[in-house]
Chain A
Amino acid sequence: MKSTLPPFFLCALLSFSGWLSAEESATAAVTVADLAAAAAPVANKGDTAWMIVATVLVILMIIPGLALFYGGMVRVKNMLSVLMQVFAIFAMIAVLWAIYGYSIAFTEGNAFFGGLSKVFLKGVTPESMAATFSKGVVIPEYIYVVFQLTFAAITPALIVGAFAERAKFGAVLMFMVLWFTFSYLPIAHMVWYWAGPDAYTDVEAGAKAAATAGFIFQRGALDFAGGTVVHINAGFAGLIGAIVIGKRIGFQKESMKPHSVTMTMIGASLLWVGWFGFNVGSNLEANGVAAMVFVNTLLATAGATLSWMGAEWIDRGKPSMLGAASGAVAGLVAITPACGFVGPMGSIVLGLIAGAVCFWAVTSLKNMLGYDDSLDVFGVHAVGGMLGALGTGIFAAPALGGTGVYDYVANAVGAYDMLAQVISQAWGVGVTIIWTSLVSLISYKIVDATIGLRVSDESEREGLDIREHGETAYNL
């Protein structure tokens, strides 16, 4: 670690100061919160209370949910390395989010990056408000900041599964700083930043407000809770990582059985429970749509669990617990972008498709392409994320039980053009894939050239727990 710390901090500083100089001249934008404050709407206590609970649920997904889900799948000698990577990434991103992440993702800037008007959470107070999806309805900006913080923290943590059991701890942290800054933040801005519903007062004002939104948002892509921002983003970063770092020693020659499928089941269950915070919380209000999102999240996951189980049963002869847990996560991933736009039956169909397709991706596609994505970040998150993002365009159609797309100028659901919507969705998917893949590749190369991505062969053989962290997971 001695040799890894200075470049890691240097890197954080460089990336940060780079932003300052590039964006210094940008004028402070009139933000959502400012607009809301002018009309002085008051946050509803029910909405606020729900968002606090939802945020806690998403934290539960990361620690210990994701950590255990991943940890159970590695060999016993690497258990702590996975737990520690997830735990440390959560802590590190939390701090970076408050310092500059929130501002770059969620203030007005250009179509790709937000501005720096809220660095160090400048201007965020107990009185400042954030917009929701309903006109005149706001929530306290602080809870919006921290709710979004949890999304920013889980996304990098998802990536570690792809190069588990062989990456240096310092390299993981350094990569995550770079990737969070140059991939997560701009993609979040491109997909989610908009002026808020209150800006859409008439056609002209609506067009003006729309021009300030993020690039993918302007293309009309729907992503309710992060299919592109979280899952495709992390999934492709993982794939690139697995390829750049290379296969584990003994891959496909030695036994790399999960050391505890029990832990993985506990982790998957915590993810499933926590995901109600993730998806339902993304509605930002405790209302009827929130209840619909809850139902969709439950049903798609159940459908995907059954379809992975069924596919495995037919194809491999036995339905495994690891398969069922993986199917549940695949379903959660697929419903994430869709959950606020589709109906319950659309959710079940989407889940059934996701379970079977992700099963194929991790059992067949991975072997065909030959990469060593240790815990199937690509097969589950990227593949499931793409299915969900494109499926949103299909199942959001009112004819298929979806909600359609709300027109904030007309204050009604607009006419639905499925082909146009699928094309919009494809824009979101395509831009995310290209952006995250390029940023990931460059970031991995920078880390590899400075501190090295991979541990020594000796460390990999002995296990990362002892060699990187100086402890063992179980001293029974």
Chain B
Amino acid sequence: MKFVTAILKPFKLDDVREALSEVGVTGITVTEVKGFGRQKGHTELYRGAEYVVDFLPKVKLEVAVTDQQLDAVIDAIAKTANTGKIGDGKIFVSNLEQVVRIRTGETGAEAL
């Protein structure tokens, strides 16, 4: 099993959610986050006082998938979230050791 974490532009979230449903993902977790990468921040000016805003609003999406689903999931996120402009975000993939469905006690791939 793999755990996929993706950082996205907020306005791309709905498109990505739909694309993930189409490849069989049944649950995702979304958090509103702030951060910066190569896009860096922007500056704001208030009556001549200049403030550098380093952290831009992004969406963090987390999804647990089976090894078989992984490529399709990465592909779906990468294609839908792409605008070609700097700041589109990143996808991180890590190994997932265990999953438990709390209600039934199921474990492993059955719990996804």
The B contact surface, by secondary structure, is strand
Tell me which residues across on chain B come within 8 A of A376, comparing CB atoms: 47
Query: Among residues 300 to 353 in chain A, which have CB atoms less than 8 Å away from a CB atom of chain B?
Result: 316, 318, 320, 322-323, 326
Tell me which residues across on chain A come within 8 A of B51, comparing CB atoms: 255-257
Is the C-beta of B48 less than 8 angstroms from some C-beta in chain A? Answer: yes
Determine which residue in B45, B46, B48 has the highest number of CB atoms from chain A within 10 A of its CB, and name it. Answer: B48
Q: Bound state CA distance, A208 and B47, in angstroms?
A: 49
Q: How far is the CB of A310 from chain B (nearest CB, A)?
A: 15
Q: State whether A366 touches B48 (Cβ < 8 A).
A: yes
Is the C-beta of B14 less than 8 angstroms from some C-beta in chain A? Answer: no
Set A256, A320, A326: member contacting B45, Cβ < 8 A: A320
Q: Mark B36-77, 1 if CB is under 8 A from A, else 0.
A: 000000001111110100000000000000000000000000
Q: How far is the CB of A305 from chain B (nearest CB, A)?
A: 15
Q: State whether A363 touches B48 (Cβ < 8 A).
A: yes
Tell me which residues across on chain B come within 8 A of A257, comparing CB atoms: 44, 46, 51
Q: Mark A215-256, 1 if CB is under 8 A from B, else 0.
A: 000000000000000000000000000000000000010011
Q: How far is the CB of A77 from chain B (nearest CB, A)?
A: 17
What is the interface size of chain B, counting residues whose CB is below 8 A from a CB of the partner?
Answer: 7
Give the size category of A's interface with B: 10 to 19
Query: Among residues 336 to 387 in chain A, which have CB atoms less than 8 Å away from a CB atom of chain B?
Result: 362-364, 366-367, 376
What residue of chain A has the Cβ atom nearest to residue B51's Cβ?
Answer: A255
Q: How far is the CB of A382 from chain B (nearest CB, A)?
A: 15
Q: How far is the CB of A311 from chain B (nearest CB, A)?
A: 11
Q: State whether A362 touches B47 (Cβ < 8 A).
A: yes
Q: Bound state CA distance, A366 and B45, in angstroms?
A: 15
Is the C-beta of A258 less than 8 angstroms from some C-beta in chain B? Answer: yes
What residue of chain B has the Cβ atom nearest to residue A251's Cβ?
Answer: B49
Tell me which residues across on chain B come within 8 A of A318, comparing CB atoms: 45
What residue of chain B has the Cβ atom nearest to residue A312's Cβ?
Answer: B45
Q: State whether A316 touches B45 (Cβ < 8 A).
A: yes
Q: State whether B47 touches A323 (Cβ < 8 A).
A: yes
Tell me which residues across on chain A come within 8 A of B45, comparing CB atoms: 316, 318, 320
What residue of chain A has the Cβ atom nearest to residue B52's Cβ?
Answer: A255
Q: How far is the CB of A201 from chain B (nearest CB, A)?
A: 52
Tell me which residues across on chain A come within 8 A of B46, comparing CB atoms: 73, 257-258, 320, 322
Q: How far is the CB of B54 from chain A (nearest CB, A)?
A: 10
Tell me which residues across on chain B come within 8 A of A364, comparing CB atoms: 48
What are 20 contact pairs spanning A and B, CB under 8 A?
A73-B46, A255-B51, A256-B49, A256-B51, A257-B46, A258-B46, A316-B45, A316-B48, A318-B45, A320-B45, A320-B46, A322-B46, A323-B47, A326-B47, A362-B48, A363-B48, A364-B48, A366-B48, A367-B48, A376-B47
* Other A-B pairs beyond A256-B49, A257-B51, 12, CB < 8 Å: A255-B51, A257-B44, A258-B46, A316-B45, A316-B48, A322-B46, A322-B47, A323-B47, A326-B47, A362-B48, A364-B48, A376-B47
